[in-house]
Amino acid sequence: MFGLGKDKKRLLELLPEVKGKYLPGEPLSKYTWFGVGGPAEVMYWPQDNEDLSWFMKNKPYNLPIFVIGSGSNLLVRDGGIPGVVIKLNGKFYKKWSLEGDKLTCGAGMKNSELKKIMTDNNIGGLEFLVSIPGSLGGAVKTNAGCFGKELKDVLLGATVINGNGDEINVTADDFNLGYRCSFFPEEWIVTALTFKVEPQPAAKTLQIIEEHKAYRLKSQPHNVKTAGSTFKNPEGLRAWELIKKTGSNLFKVNGAEVSDVHCNFLVNTGKATAKDIEELGDKIVENVKKETSIVLEWEVKKVGVGK
């Protein structure tokens, strides 16, 4: 019933009226750090949870739904994404509140925006998140982590719109967070998250954030089109070491190549397609398996259809 045909406006006729905005055929390359990817059949920006709930309750029952965050850990294929792509980046999804040691933030807030909240209120504990590109909602899906901490270490709970359009509150345990992964119903749309924080002088928070920033600038590529770490670290091993050891760091596919700063980062040099990047990653997986018998698992999420 749904697909990326020539007339993407056809789907609009089947969708409920909303307070937010619909846009057919929106190029998703504008919303991913790789800068590649085909269009969304229809893109939807909800005004608030009431609007999103109404949409979920009244949409066609078999409509494919995909929620996009900041696109920092995403590879959208060149054919785009069928159905409706939802982006939570309105003012409602960037609100926050602090009650004692509990900080609640909208899922559309960028991780980097936590810096000002923490320093203005003399709280800490979320510095590691500040250094991770992306939005808070996206951090749940991958249990984002670095510098010895993961989201599961600080997450208390969340507000979710479920597949029936109901707004529910869930606990951190309901997400079943593991190493760079989570296990919760696909139809859940996370709209806000609550974290535990701790009293901490702003100067200390800034010091930690600056240390993290300095490390990343020294050891990871920046000012390039990349989606961060491409592969998960196998247990007890490091993906980048396996890539370098097997010579896979020298691979290229058209405009896609391996970063010379950190070889677990794939880079779009400017002319790569999503297909180029995916082929490069798969080529690395095959070579590492051939040379070491170890299978690397993609950390970057691949979505959409080929072209």
Active site residue 97: no
Which of the residues 131, 135, 229, 248 is marked catalytic?
229
Q: How far apart (Å, rounded) are the C-alpha atoms in residues 196 and 241?
A: 35
| Helices 114-121 & 202-219 angle (0-180, nearest 10) | 150
* Sheet strands (E) in the chain: 21-27, 39-45, 65-68, 74-76, 81-87, 96-99, 102-106, 123-124, 145-146, 149-150, 155-161, 167-171, 189-196, 198-199, 225-229, 252-253, 256-258, 265-268, 301-303
Q: How far apart (Å, rounded) are the C-alpha atoms in residues 244 and 175?
A: 34
Active site residue 216: no
Query: Tokens 């196998």 belong to which residue?
Result: 234
Task: Yes or no: say if 185 and 170 are a contact pair by the CB < 8 Å rule.
Answer: no
Which of the residues 41, 150, 278, 299 is marked catalytic?
299
Which of the residues 180, 248, 257, 278 is marked catalytic?
180
- CB under 8 A, 24+ apart: contacts of 86-90: 86/43, 86/44, 86/45, 86/46, 86/52, 86/189, 87/31, 87/43, 87/44, 87/45, 88/45, 88/46, 88/52, 88/135, 88/137, 88/189, 88/191, 89/45, 89/135, 90/20, 90/45, 90/46, 90/47, 90/48
Residue 68 to residues 87, 195, 244, Cα–Cα distance (Å): 5, 21, 32
CB atoms within 10 A of CB 50: 13
Q: How far apart (Å, rounded) are the C-alpha atoms in residues 80 and 27?
A: 8
Active site residue 99: no
Secondary structure class of 222 (helix, strand, coil): coil
Query: Which residues does the annotation mark as catalytic?
Result: 180, 229, 299
